[in-house]
Amino acid sequence: MLRTDLQHQMLPLAGSPPVRWRIADGLVPYDEAVATMEKEVAAIGEGLAPELVWLVEHPSLYTAGTSANAADLIEPDRFPVFATGRGGEYTYHGPGQRVAYVMLDLKRRRQDIRAFVAALEEVIIRTLDSMNVRGERREDRVGVWVRRPEKPLLPDGTMSEDKIAALGIRVRKWVTFHGLSLNVDPDLSHFSGIVPCGISAYGVTSLVDLGLPVMMADVDIRLREAFEQIFGDTANESLNEA
């Protein structure tokens, strides 16, 4: 079955507490983010804490997923490079990009990782739709893509398209971590130091690059609305309450 045809809703069991919704202030160092995720995932898995979505921005860096090909790191000295346990290949994180770390207990929802990936894609697609941007999934490449009819056709004669959001997840005892990144207004030239997600035939874009002068806070509101449509209720949590 295609990811497009999967049932995207992944609501929790009745009586489950709302997902904590946390937005970090400033730029979060990547190693600190991973350490926080490890702690939170352990607590969620043991039933000691509600599920969590943590929105962050990182300083400029590259991460290498479990399928990363060393040849795709074109400029290894440009930014710090972090090996990470998430799925996928190389990606860039930096200011102007909204990273959402999604820590959910699939035992309370659906123990279906493929459906979870499709559900995250659907959150991004609905977020973009609320800003009149048509995001699309591709069955042969994970993430969300935007058609660019104003650009030259690809060598095979098909329409150009750019990636606007990436996904990379890890699951431990059915608790998810890592998540998604949505390009709001990052420096797109920083993607040139890698082959993003191992795909060289397509470009990378952002909301601002598409002509939408949106603020991160506005995107966060729309992202939360879309998340709740798919995954259920959330509740505010500030970083200093964690």
* CA-CA-CA-CA dihedral for 163, 222, 125, 25, to nearest 10: 40
CA distance 102 to 123: 12
Residue 240 has pLDDT above 60, yes or no: no
Condensed to tens digits (0 to 9), the pLDDT of residues 36-56 reads 999 999 999 999 999 999 999
Domain ranges in the chain?
Answer: 3-236
Helical spans, DSSP H, in the chain: 30-45, 113-129, 216-231
Residue 222 has pLDDT above 80, yes or no: yes
Q: Are 13 and 110 in contact (CB under 8 A)?
A: no
Average pLDDT, the chain: 93
Mention every residue, 6+ apart, whose C-beta is less than 8 A from residue 150.
Answer: none
Predicted confidence at residue 139, as pLDDT, reads 85
Of the candidate ranges 38-42, 63-67, 92-96, 225-229, the one whose mean pLDDT is the lowest:
63-67
Answer yes or no: is 91 a known binding residue: yes
Burial class (CB in 10 A: 0-12, 13-18, 19+), 242: middle
The CATH number of 3-236, from 3.40.1410.10, 3.20.20.80, 2.60.40.420, 3.30.930.10, is 3.30.930.10
Residue 238 has pLDDT above 70, yes or no: no
Answer yes or no: is 86 a known binding residue: yes
Condensed to tens digits (0 to 9), the pLDDT of residues 84-108 reads 989 889 999 999 999 999 999 999 9
Q: Are 59 and 78 in contact (CB under 8 A)?
A: no
Q: Are 188 and 164 in contact (CB under 8 A)?
A: no
> To the nearest 5 percent, what fractions of the chain are helix, strand and coil?
30, 30, 40
Answer yes or no: is 88 a known binding residue: yes
Active site residues: 197
Answer yes or no: is 212 a known binding residue: no
Instruction: Give the angle 216-241-181 at the CA atoms, nearest 5°.
Output: 30
